[in-house]
């Protein structure tokens, strides 16, 4: 049996990424302007990220004469804190969480928990990449107006990675192998090469490393590409649900049949119904799948210390064209910082302005090892982001440039759909329990319609 051995340190770092360090004083105890500025922050996946935000914070303290209580949480913890805020729990003065913008941001703005940020970001408004400002512009229920309600720091989408050398071994060649860029042919390619890899001695390999579990947000994120490829539309441009439309229902069913077919064909690990957020990464880095898709560049980013692995063994490629032959548009996930309404708004805005100075923001984003892309056009011009042999960053730039607005931008009720992982629940039911796709989709539609009705009554 052949096996490509992973670097154990890489897997260890990925697992550590889910185990943040929580501070001892994580909540504000009063609304006094005399207390320290309380900042809740996602623990960096790499030491350079954490080092950068700590250094930037210390610099602001020195320049302002103010003190900051900088508290780190892992991503699951900070998302839980965000949910508790919506339920009346304690809040910081400023919050940054990798997934909080997508799952909670529009609701924070709609219900008035956070303040508009026009006066923070306006200085750099012409330097933001296309789509960034649109994706942080949320509706406020009280005013009935849309405004930017956060400070964007970085951006990502979902990217496809594959083992270039393993694919060559499976095909007994040292030449680059052409990967189809049309939808059905692209996915069949990986299923066909699964068998070739098995025949070459990689007996435990699967062709595709997509999650089928409701215990990871990745499933929802990746399924959205399948909805887009099949032309399915969940919300209208004015934020109204379109799920009662028979044509849209048919497209959703087709997309879910497509996604779950890989599991049924045996192209995906049987354990994919149990995966958490890092498990498809670990599966891929253990050479148990030929390809995977991931909503950050953390997979290649974890290998930057090994140039052979980073540049030669693992490659990244763009998403295939949709069934209509057009490029599949992608949701972009803006990693954003929120300023909460309270006694320290002025200090929080001062801190935010300091952080987004190009020299500071560049250091912070590059500290992610390319895991996320800059939101700034000028920072994107830095050599770090323009190395031609770096297929990972180049493929990610192409993916992000072909963006569409996420559904939660049109209607903040969709944040609850994301938090409950409704589509992922349906996918897991199909794969794990064998229920018909049509029934799983109808169950999901019922749940989503119930969420929207409850939201309208709130």
Q: Find the radius of gyration of the CA atoms of the chain.
A: 22
> What digits encode the pLDDT tens for the residues 363-377?
999 988 888 999 999
> What digits encode the pLDDT tens for the residues 159-168?
999 999 999 9
Angle at 26 between CA 24 and CA 30, to 5 degrees: 120
CA distance 274 to 3: 23
Report the share of the chain in percent with pLDDT over 90: 86
Average pLDDT over the chain, rounded to whole?
A: 92
Banded pLDDT at 34 (limits 50, 70, 90): confident
What do you get for the CA distance between the two ends of the chain, in Å? Answer: 59
CA distance 284 to 220: 19
Judged against a pLDDT cut of 70, whether residue 10 lies above it is answered with no
Question: Which has more confidence, 305 or 212?
Answer: 212
Average of per-residue pLDDT across 248-263: 99
316 token code pair: 């990244």
Helix segments in 19-74, DSSP class H: 47-64
339 token code pair: 């300023």
Residue corresponding to tokens 């303040």 = 115
Residue 13 pLDDT: 47
> What digits encode the pLDDT tens for the residues 381-408?
999 899 889 999 999 999 999 999 999 9
Residue 327 pLDDT: 96
Strands 151-156 and 373-374: antiparallel
Element housing 338 (H / E): strand 333-339
CA distance 82 to 20: 16
CA distance 188 to 169: 18
Banded pLDDT at 199 (limits 50, 70, 90): very high
CA distance 190 to 314: 15
CA distance 70 to 368: 19
- Residue-wise burial string across 359-369, b where 16 or more C-beta atoms lie within 10 A, e elsewhere: ebbbbbbbbbb
Judged against a pLDDT cut of 70, whether residue 65 lies above it is answered with yes
Angle at 326 between CA 297 and CA 299, to 5 degrees: 10
CA distance 291 to 158: 13
Average of per-residue pLDDT across 436-454: 98
Residue corresponding to tokens 């031609």 = 388
Bridge partners of 289, per DSSP, are: 206
Residue 45 pLDDT: 84
Domains delineated in the chain: 19-155+334-406 (3.40.190.10), 158-330+421-457 (3.40.190.10)
CA distance 39 to 339: 9
Query: Quick one: which of 102, 58, 47, 60 has its CA closest to 79?
Result: 102
Judged against a pLDDT cut of 60, whether residue 353 lies above it is answered with yes
* Lowest-pLDDT range of 19-33, 40-54, 196-210, 338-352: 19-33
CA distance 372 to 391: 14
The torsion angles phi and psi of 361, rounded to 5 degrees, stand at -65, -40
Judged against a pLDDT cut of 70, whether residue 3 lies above it is answered with no
- Residue-wise burial string across 256-267, b where 16 or more C-beta atoms lie within 10 A, e elsewhere: bbbbbebbeeeb
Judged against a pLDDT cut of 80, whether residue 228 lies above it is answered with yes
Residue 317 pLDDT: 96
Judged against a pLDDT cut of 70, whether residue 333 lies above it is answered with yes
* Cα torsion through 249, 231, 130, 341, rounded to 10: 10
CA distance 400 to 128: 13
- What is the sign, positive or negative, of the torsion defined by CA atoms of 453, 217, 20, 102? negative
Residue 2 pLDDT: 41
DSSP 125: G
Residue 192 pLDDT: 97
184 token code pair: 């059905």
Average of per-residue pLDDT across 99-109: 95
CA distance 23 to 131: 34
Residue 368 pLDDT: 85
Residue 24 pLDDT: 41
Contact present, 314 and 286 (Cβ < 8 Å): no
Bridge partners of 154, per DSSP, are: 335, 374
* Lowest-pLDDT range of 131-140, 170-179, 300-309, 373-382: 300-309
Residue 173 pLDDT: 94
């Amino acid at each position: 049996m052949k096996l490509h051995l992973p670097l154990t340190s890489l897997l260890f770092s990925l697992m550590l990424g889910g185990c943040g360090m929580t501070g001892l004083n994580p909540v504000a105890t009063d609304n006094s302007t005399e207390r320290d500025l309380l900042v809740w922050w996602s623990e960096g996946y790499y030491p350079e990220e954490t080092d950068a935000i700590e250094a930037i914070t210390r610099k602001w303290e020195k320049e302002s004469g103010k003190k900051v209580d900088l508290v780190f949480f892992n991503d699951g913890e900070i998302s839980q804190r965000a949910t508790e805020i919506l339920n009346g729990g304690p809040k910081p003065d400023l919050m940054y969480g990798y997934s909080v913008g997508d799952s909670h941001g529009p609701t924070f703005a709609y219900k008035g928990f956070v303040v508009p940020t026009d006066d923070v970001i306006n200085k750099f408004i012409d330097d933001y990449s296309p789509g960034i400002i649109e994706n942080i512009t949320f509706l406020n229920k009280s005013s009935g107006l849309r405004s930017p309600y956060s400070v964007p720091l970085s951006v990502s989408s979902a990217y496809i990675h594959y083992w270039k050398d393993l694919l060559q071994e499976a095909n007994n060649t040292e030449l680059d192998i052409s990967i189809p860029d049309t939808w059905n042919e692209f996915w069949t390619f990986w299923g066909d090469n699964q068998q070739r890899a098995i025949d070459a001695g990689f007996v435990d390999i699967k062709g595709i490393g997509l999650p089928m579990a409701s215990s990871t947000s990745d499933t929802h994120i990746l399924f959205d590409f399948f909805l887009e490829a099949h032309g399915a539309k969940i919300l209208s441009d004015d934020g109204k649900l379109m799920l009662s439309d028979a044509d849209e229902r048919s497209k959703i069913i087709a997309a879910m049949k497509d996604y779950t077919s890989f599991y049924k064909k045996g192209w995906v690990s049987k354990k994919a119904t149990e995966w958490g957020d890092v498990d498809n990464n670990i599966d891929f880095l253990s050479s148990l799948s030929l390809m995977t898709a991931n909503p950050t560049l953390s997979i290649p980013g974890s290998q930057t210390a090994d140039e052979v692995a980073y540049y030669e063994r693992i490659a990244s490629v763009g998403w295939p064209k949709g069934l209509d032959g057009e490029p599949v548009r992608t949701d972009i996930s803006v990693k954003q910082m929120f300023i909460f309404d309270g006694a320290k708004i002025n200090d929080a805005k001062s801190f935010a302005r300091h952080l987004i100075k190009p020299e500071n923001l560049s250091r912070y984003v590059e500290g992610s090892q390319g895991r996320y892309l800059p939101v700034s056009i000028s920072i994107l011009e830095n050599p770090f982001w323009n190395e031609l042999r770096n297929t990972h960053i180049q493929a990610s730039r192409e993916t992000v440039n072909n963006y569409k607005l996420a559904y939660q931008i049109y209607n903040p009720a969709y944040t609850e759909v994301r938090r409950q992982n409704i589509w992922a629940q349906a996918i897991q039911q199909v794969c794990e329990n064998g229920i018909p796709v049509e029934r799983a989709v109808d169950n999901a539609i019922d749940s989503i319609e119930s969420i929207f009705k409850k939201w309208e009554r709130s």
